[in-house]
């Protein structure tokens, strides 16, 4: 369904070709594998190149093994990408450490559960109306334990931070890396053309404490055994929307809940088709088993 959405939006603006398909934080490459499978039916593989922004050497190797019939590492320091490969349908794939290194061209950008994994700063307003950052400190009573403390003075982050005009919260989470990436994408889309779809756990500027850790699929104290759990915080889509629309560079839509998006994309119809295909396969397997 995401593939169909991409093709539909691409056609709305005149089917510019060639184009780039960029994914931020592709994980194990599962989403892109599904997207490419559908795009091959539209015969778009030869018109596009694929660009992954991935900082993990381990994950980039998994992605290459999943998507490419051949791939190689690039050792040259002059190259903007560190790995390249080719899918069996002929699409080129490139890997980068930074979004800024991806070539300037019309781009479709996908980010699935990417922004929620970026570093988060927690801020709290003091009695004088100044924003102070919540930091991690050693518990003086038990030095083997960590604790949260409020900074005594303003930190570089709390000085940079600017709240929404209508934001009444006294405590919130601020992601400067999200701000940087969205601002870059806004400039890129205005200059080269393109559009994006961001899918993540999030809110619209009303939550103030979503930072948490998961270990073995269970909630975990983020201050216990640091480095052993996955850290996450809900994405502030209001922040993304305001940054993207700065200076009138972009038009944004949403956010909408996942269920609404899937229903608008005829998700139930697609599910019914898949169930029917599965049912027919089960019938065939049953017939073979009976004959045996």
Q: 291: pLDDT confidence band, cut at 50, 70 and 90?
A: low
pTM of the model: 0.88
Q: What whole-number distance in Å separates Cα of residue 182 and Cα of residue 88?
A: 32
User: In this predicted structure, what is the pLDDT of residue 287?
Assistant: 59
Q: What class does CATH assign to 1-121+174-288?
A: alpha beta
Q: Which two tokens stand for residue 22?
A: 């960029």
For residue 29, pLDDT over 60 is answered with yes
Mean pLDDT (the chain, rounded): 92
Handedness of CA 109, 112, 113, 117 (dihedral sign): negative
| Exposure on the CB side of residue 60, measured as CA atoms within 13 A | 22
Q: Which two tokens stand for residue 85?
A: 């490969």
Q: 203: pLDDT confidence band, cut at 50, 70 and 90?
A: very high
CA distances from 249 to 170, 192, 197 (A): 30, 12, 16
Contacts of 117 (CB under 8 A, 6+ apart): 25, 230, 231, 232
Q: 75: pLDDT confidence band, cut at 50, 70 and 90?
A: confident
Q: What whole-number distance in Å separates Cα of residue 216 and Cα of residue 235?
A: 22
User: In this predicted structure, what is the pLDDT of residue 44?
Assistant: 84
User: In this predicted structure, what is the pLDDT of residue 289?
Assistant: 60
**Residue 131, SS3 per DSSP:** strand
> How far from chain centre, in Å, is Cα 30?
13
* Residue 161 near residue 123, CB atoms below 8 Å: yes
Q: Which two tokens stand for residue 229?
A: 């759990």
Q: Which two tokens stand for residue 221?
A: 């104290």
Kindly calculate the radius of gyration of the chain based on its CA atoms and give it in whole angstroms: 22
Contacts of 245 (CB under 8 A, 6+ apart): 251, 252
For residue 265, pLDDT over 80 is answered with no
Residues 41-59: pLDDT tens digits?
A: 888 878 899 999 999 999 9
In which order are the strands placed within the sheet that holds 70-73?
70-73, 83-86, 92-96, 48-53, 19-24, 107-112, 194-199
Q: Could you state, in order of their start, the residue ranges of all structural domains in the chain?
A: 1-121+174-288, 123-160
Residues 119-149: pLDDT tens digits?
A: 999 999 999 999 999 999 999 989 889 999 9
- Please name which of 108, 78, 87 lies closest in space to residue 17, comparing C-alpha atoms: 108
Task: Report the pLDDT averaged over residues 206-227.
Answer: 94
Q: Which ranges in the chain belong to alpha helices (H)?
A: 2-12, 30-41, 57-67, 156-160, 176-192, 237-244, 258-264, 267-291
Task: Report the pLDDT averaged over residues 223-244.
Answer: 95
Residues 94-123: pLDDT tens digits?
A: 999 999 999 999 999 999 999 999 999 999
What is the percent of the chain where pLDDT is above 90? 76
Handedness of CA 199, 203, 208, 212 (dihedral sign): negative
For residue 292, pLDDT over 60 is answered with no
For residue 268, pLDDT over 80 is answered with no
Contacts of 160-168 with C-beta under 8 Å, sequence gap 24+, read: 161/121, 161/123, 161/131, 163/131, 164/205, 164/238, 164/239, 164/242, 167/205
Handedness of CA 145, 148, 150, 154 (dihedral sign): positive
């Amino acid at each position: 369904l995401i593939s169909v959405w991409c093709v539909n939006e691409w056609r709305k603006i005149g089917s510019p070709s060639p184009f780039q398909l960029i994914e931020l934080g592709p994980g194990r490459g599962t989403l892109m594998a599904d997207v490419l499978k559908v795009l091959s039916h539209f015969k778009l593989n030869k018109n596009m190149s694929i660009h992954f922004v991935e900082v993990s050497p381990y994950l980039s190797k998994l992605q290459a093994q999943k998507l490419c019939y051949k791939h190689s590492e690039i050792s040259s320091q002059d190259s903007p990408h560190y790995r390249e490969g080719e899918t069996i349908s002929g699409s080129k794939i490139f890997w980068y450490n930074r979004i800024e290194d991806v070539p300037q061209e019309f781009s479709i950008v996908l980010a699935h559960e990417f922004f929620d994994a970026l570093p988060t700063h927690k801020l709290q307003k003091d009695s004088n109306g100044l924003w102070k950052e919540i930091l991690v400190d050693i518990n003086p009573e038990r030095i083997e334990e960590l604790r949260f403390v409020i900074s005594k003075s303003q930190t570089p982050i709390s000085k940079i931070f600017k709240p929404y005009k209508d934001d009444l919260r006294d405590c919130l989470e601020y992601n400067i890396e999200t701000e940087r990436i969205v601002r870059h994408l806004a400039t890129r889309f205005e200059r080269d053309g393109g559009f994006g779809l961001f899918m993540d756990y999030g809110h619209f500027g009303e939550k103030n404490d979503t930072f948490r850790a998961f270990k073995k699929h269970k909630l975990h104290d983020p201050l216990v055994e640091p480095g052993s759990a996955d850290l996450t915080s809900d994405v502030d889509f209001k922040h993304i929307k305001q940054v993207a629309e700065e200076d009138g560079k972009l038009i944004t839509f949403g956010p909408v809940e996942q269920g609404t998006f899937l229903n608008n994309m005829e998700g139930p119809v697609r599910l019914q088709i898949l169930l029917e295909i599965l049912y027919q396969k089960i019938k065939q397997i049953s017939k073979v088993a009976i004959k045996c």
